[in-house]
Amino acid sequence: QSALTQPASVSGSPGQSITISCTGTSSDVGSYNLVSWYQQHPGKAPKLMIYEGSKRPSGVSNRFSGSKSGNTASLTISGLQAEDEADYYCCSYAGSSSYVFGGGTKLNDL
Amino acid sequence: QVQLVQSGAEVKKPGASVKVSCKASGYTFTSYGISWVRQAPGQGLEWMGWISAYNGNTNYAQKLQGRVTMTTDTSTSTAYMELRSLRSDDTAVYYCARLVVGAIDYWGQGTLVTVSS
């Protein structure tokens, strides 16, 4: 499968909100409510932030929210904080027990 | 607490094979799948495949079919990923991770595999 499409970078300032998009196809994002989002700081393993499109694991701040419309999923971070500066990856179930990641988005300028 | 502890860094020559281990603890190993994800230097995450720790069923990414094998040892709660015919573009950090329905909820610390002559 082809990787999901994410913007290479987004910028924000402390206190603002940003949205990262993740565009797939009708064979992955559009067909399943199984999009997840991961945060990765340099040199660290990724961390699950959103699963099943909009659900937050225990311990993840409610400043993080997810949604989906058609073939595009989105991650919104409100009330930006310095520690939110990281890379963000979306991932979708693509059928037949397979998954596909997005190319990643660097959130910077915080 | 759930932990996935991976084996140490490896340096391999082109054409060789590497086998990375991932020891799980803190949960019932056979109740979840294990996914393998890799990340080349400065690049994004790439899904490699997954294995059911319950019955050993596997599904591999198409681009790795024929070169990768994922296995588990339920007696030691350990998962393994073997990659053969290594090339320079296989140089990456390899992660094992616990797979729940539609997401990966716990990750290992990563294992750097360097392929260089």
What residues does B60 pair with on adjacent strands?
B49
Compute the nearest-CA separation of B85 from chain A (Å).
Answer: 22
CA distance A20 to B66: 35
B100 touches chain A (CB under 8 A): yes
Whether residues B47 and A51 touch (CB distance < 8 A) is answered with no
Contact call for B95 and A46, based on CB within 8 A: yes
Please state, in angstroms and rounded to a whole number, the distance separating the CA atoms of residues B112 and B94. Answer: 6
Helix (H) or strand (E) holding B35: strand B33-39
Interchain contact, B103 vs A45, CB within 8 Å: no
Contact A46 B107 (CB under 8 A): yes
Residue B74, sorted as left (phi over 0), alpha (psi -120 to 50) or beta, turns out to be alpha
The single-letter DSSP state of residue A44 is: S
A53: region left, alpha or beta (phi > 0 left; psi from -120 to 50 alpha): left
**Residue-wise pLDDT tens digits, B99-109:** 998 899 999 99
What confidence tens digit (pLDDT) does each residue in A32-80 have?
Answer: 999 999 999 999 999 999 999 999 999 999 999 999 999 999 999 999 9
